[in-house]
Amino acid sequence: MRSEHPATLAAAPEQGATEEATAVAHPNIALIKYWGKRDEDLVLPRVDSLSMTLDVFPTTTRVRLRADAAHDQVTLNGAPARGEALRRVVAFLDLVRERAGRAHRAVVDSENTVPTGAGLASSASGFAALAVAAAAAYGLDLDATALSRLARRGSGSASRSVFGGFAVWHAGPARGTAQEADLASHAEPVPTGDLDPALVVAVLDAGPKEVSSRTAMRRTVDTSPLYESWAASSGADLAEMRAALLAGDIETVGEVAERNALGMHATMLAARPAVRYMTPATLAVLDRVLRIRRDGVPAYATMDAGPNVKVLCRRADAGQVAAALWEAAADGTVLVAGPGPGARLLGGDGR
């Protein structure tokens, strides 16, 4: 989207804020999942996670400070935000205001091209874009690490969308003070070898989910007898994944990603009451991925808090994989994504 509003309008010399800023961020898909918090308020995760930021579905967010306003005003895709969505944005702005030592309310306009709440990481791109735009508008001079830490407070997965390509989000030390944990829990880029990956996304149902990922992960940690064993095995998954990424070994990357995701879904199925995001359409696509593999094409599935399936493969195989998924996805849509850029401020010309 081209912004008609410059990122920098009048500077407020006493505070150094730009008063208005626009940022763009892309969603990311975790190959090693974030599932479970150890601190809800600080959004500290139980496990490290690793993702690929996509080159599709950007979110563009503009933040404008308003000296005369009594409340924040938030629109998502042109409609006023309400309820939990509004509460989360206002709480995030409160955090930015506290750090900046400023009280101005803001007008936030966010354009999200990903279906919201469908397990396609809309909160990741949303809070990464909001973190970058709000920090600039309120005059906080933050590097990428600090922006990742800030984005985390809006939504855990947003910490990874601050970076492009592959990123790992460190859980931080389990012991120590809250301040130490807060400082250590941010994402950073992950080095990769010769890997030319694609994620083929089968959107099977773009409607909002019945149970939010926030609620589902809390219930899983609190009640699932499988949670601790999945969390314990996730560390080994991450180490194996990092080595495979460095070696450019897409087969191992895919195998580890698929087992980590299925394990996460197993923890939810064992929660009380169970959380099940997979639908018959999800299973049909998973069956199809198995067949693609049996036909000799390395392709591996991952799913998040929704029925949609993302299939990791080589970019060279993406067309073939997408064609097979189109057949299996019945009423769904299929699109091919590659590694995308990190979150960034848009300039005055909207680019």
Which parts of this chain interact with ligand DP6 (CB under 6 A)?
30, 33-35, 43, 49, 123, 155-157, 213-214, 304-305
Tell me whether residue 30 or residue 199 sits nearer to ligand DP6 (CB atom).
Answer: 30
Closest contact distance (angstroms) between CB of 72 and ligand DP6 is: 19
Tell me whether residue 91 or residue 316 sits nearer to ligand DP6 (CB atom).
Answer: 91
In this structure, the number of other CB atoms found within 10 A of the CB of residue 117 comes to 18
Closest contact distance (angstroms) between CB of 250 and ligand DP6 is: 20
Tell me whether residue 36 or residue 139 sits nearer to ligand DP6 (CB atom).
Answer: 36
Closest contact distance (angstroms) between CB of 46 and ligand DP6 is: 11
Tell me whether residue 305 or residue 336 sits nearer to ligand DP6 (CB atom).
Answer: 305
CA distance 25 to 159: 11
In this structure, the number of other CB atoms found within 10 A of the CB of residue 207 comes to 11
CA distance 181 to 109: 32
CA distance 58 to 129: 9
CA distance 141 to 78: 29
CA distance 203 to 77: 20
CA distance 312 to 297: 11
In the chain, which ranges are continuous DSSP H helix?
Answer: 83-100, 122-137, 144-154, 158-161, 178-184, 213-223, 227-247, 250-269, 280-294, 318-328
At residue 8, what are phi and psi to the nearest 5 degrees? -125, 115
Tell me whether residue 35 or residue 300 sits nearer to ligand DP6 (CB atom).
Answer: 35
Tell me whether residue 3 or residue 49 sits nearer to ligand DP6 (CB atom).
Answer: 49
Closest contact distance (angstroms) between CB of 265 and ligand DP6 is: 9
Q: Do residues 274 and 268 touch, judged by C-beta distance below 8 A?
A: yes
Closest contact distance (angstroms) between CB of 47 and ligand DP6 is: 9
Closest contact distance (angstroms) between CB of 304 and ligand DP6 is: 4
Closest contact distance (angstroms) between CB of 299 and ligand DP6 is: 20
Tell me whether residue 106 or residue 128 sits nearer to ligand DP6 (CB atom).
Answer: 128
Closest contact distance (angstroms) between CB of 340 and ligand DP6 is: 15
Q: Can you spell out the DSSP letters for 101-157?
A: T---EEEEEEEE-SPTTSSS-HHHHHHHHHHHHHHHHTT----HHHHHHHHHHH-TT
**Side-chain-facing half-sphere of 99: CA atoms under 13 Å:** 21
| Of 305, 345, 312, 343, nearest in space to 121 by CA | 305
Look up residue 288 and give its amino acid: R
Tell me whether residue 268 or residue 292 sits nearer to ligand DP6 (CB atom).
Answer: 268
CA distance 147 to 96: 11
| Length reported for the chain | 351
Tell me whether residue 157 or residue 185 sits nearer to ligand DP6 (CB atom).
Answer: 157
Closest contact distance (angstroms) between CB of 59 and ligand DP6 is: 13
